[in-house]
A and B are shown apart, each in its own frame.
Chain A
Amino acid sequence: MTPPALQITCKEFVELVTAHLDGVLADADRTRFECHTERCPGCRAYLQQFRLTVDALSTGPMEAVEPANLDELVRAFKRSEPPNQA
């Protein structure tokens, strides 16, 4: 496992992870990224940590927060006229 064959460094690898997860790396970069992933245990672990981070961030929709003036908005909604319905 000689570093020059890996083509990208670990320092470069960590900057490409979100682009990789979004599937938007250009072909050449994708090949380098995958090649590096295969050969570098440190970056494989980093990628695992990053994936777990993204998974843990997903909390689902925010708790409902009712505005203080909901009644006022509802009145405005009811008052507004749909088109073609005179």
Chain B
Amino acid sequence: MPRGQTATLADINGAAGDGNERLLVAALRRREEAAFVALVRRYNGLMLRVARAQLGEHAAAEEVVQETWLAVIERIDAFEGRSSLRTWMFRILTYQAWARLERDGRQIPFSALASADAAAPDPSVDPSRFFPRHHVPRPFFWQSDPREWPEEALLAAEVRSVIGAAVDSLPDSQRVVITLRDLEGWAPNEVCEALQISEGNQRVLLHRARSRVRDALDRYLEDGKR
């Protein structure tokens, strides 16, 4: 992105160290309005979604996102590029959300919720799908085997709304992790850093979220056969 040209969405989807990201950061440091507007348009909705999950309410989330943008403006010159720009911005968001919770006298930051959610037992598949422990000769094996899905079935327009409803009904911590990892395509380490959660918790939450969405799709596809 040569000097003077406007930043496009393609410039701001990159990962850490990406050449486009360096150009974007340089444009922000030169206070190029177009670069900043593109950045805000690209990430404001996602920030709101993440903040809502961390704070549990919409009004506080909007304020925290606003504070985060102001902090990004204030600190962009100090950004060292050790993580991707988006990771860095969302880590600021997480800290702003924690500060807000503390101010409101609420003591449960998202990372604590995330570890509590991750620690609670939550099987990926309904246990009744497997033979019981004392079954001979196949304890804990499928009672009836899953069948592969026909790939074209997932192209149906309705699938999008099945997935959307399943994601919306997830617990906050699972919904945020699956949104960043699978909907937006972030790397595991970016998600851990942005949300300040451990790699293990990140994976447990993601796995549970995916398992629930798979289950919702399976029910939808089974219904279609009847």
- Sorting the interface of chain B by its residue count into under 10, 10 to 19, 20 to 34 or 35 or more gives 35 or more
Show 25 residue pairs from A and B whose CB-CB distance is below 8 angstroms, ordered by the A residue: A9-B130, A9-B140, A9-B141, A11-B123, A11-B140, A19-B203, A19-B207, A22-B203, A24-B203, A50-B211, A55-B154, A59-B183, A64-B42, A65-B41, A69-B66, A70-B40, A73-B69, A73-B70, A74-B33, A77-B33, A77-B36, A77-B73, A78-B31, A80-B31, A80-B73
A62 within 8 A of B: yes
Contact partners of B30 in chain A: CB under 8 A: 82
Number of A-B contacts (CB under 8 A): 147
Name which residue of chain A comes closest to B213, CB basis. A53
Within 8 A of B (CB), among A2-34: 2-3, 9-12, 14-15, 17-19, 22, 24
Across the interface, A56 reaches (CB within 8 A) one of B49, B138, B159, namely B159
Could you say which residues of chain B place their CB within 8 Å of the CB of A9?
130, 139-141
Verify A45–B146 contact, CB threshold 8 A. Answer: yes
Name B's interface SS: helix
Candidates A3, A19, A24, A46; contact of B138 at CB < 8 Å = A3
